[in-house]
Amino acid sequence: EAEVAQSPRYKITEKSQAVAFWCDPISGHATLYWYRQILGQGPELLVQFQDESVVDDSQLPKDRFSAERLKGVDSTLKIQPAELGDSAMYLCASSPRDSQKETQYFGPGTRLLVL
Amino acid sequence: AQSVTQLDSHVSVSEGTPVLLRCNYSSSYSPSLFWYVQHPNKGLQLLLKYTSAATLVKGINGFEAEFKKSETSFHLTKPSAHMSDAAEYFCVVSEIKAGNMRTFGGGTRLMVKP
């Protein structure tokens, strides 16, 4: 069964450093999402792509976060500089299309710890 | 604006007894509703979804949920808990008016005692 791949699975960094996370969605899925999940809470959407275009990045802290999906396939989320409050699980998800009814398929996540 | 409230942050049951995880939603239009499960250090796995067809939805691993519009609820149930059901469960709402954006509840941690 096809899965969403993410790497690394775990990342420890010091504040003010740069970090990057990678996501490879299920083949053929046009829509890709990055979520942040703080411990003990539900995931919150950071950015949504439709193919290579950003559809929604209203919750992305653009002063330090950036995301790209240059060829409309895999995607990278970057934080520079990292802050203590960025410690969280970063989840990538994909779906065949942008639809209210469509299932989103989640990757295993990258757990970030900022010291 | 859409929102989701999971009424219990923690639920503890004994193995073999029924499970009830409660979810209430707020939506100004016809929503889609989902339940996901998350095991420790894992991503979210879809259990079931409601998308305006049958109001009683059956999912994987013996779970089911009933969409009750009059009560704005979408509670998750299972007749008999298994040890492997211990995990975090998330109720999710989505509607066209919100640009299909998913809003997640705060989660319910299910503990299963032997």
Q: Give pLDDT, residue A2.
A: 81
DSSP H or E run through A68: strand A65-68
State how beta strands A110-114 and A10-13 pair. Answer: parallel
Q: Hey, is the C-beta of B99 within 8 angstroms of any chain A C-beta?
A: yes
- Based on the structure, what is the number of domains in chain B? 1
- Give the tens place of pLDDT for each residue, B1-51: 789 999 999 999 999 999 999 999 998 778 899 999 999 878 899 999 998
Task: Compare B51 and A10 and report the one with higher pLDDT.
Answer: A10
- Which of B41, B49, B105 lies at the smallest CB-CB distance from A42? B105
Q: Which domain, by its residues, includes B87?
A: 3-113
Query: What phi, psi does B84 have (nearest 5°)?
Result: -70, -10
Q: According to CATH, what is the number of the domain A5-109?
A: 2.60.40.10
Task: Please give, rounded to a whole number of angstroms, the shortest distance from the CA of B114 to a CA of chain A.
Answer: 24
Q: Give pLDDT, residue A73.
A: 93
- Give the tens place of pLDDT for each residue, B60-107: 999 999 999 999 999 999 999 999 999 999 999 988 777 778 899 999
The DSSP output letter for A98 is -
Q: Where are the domains of chain A?
A: 5-109
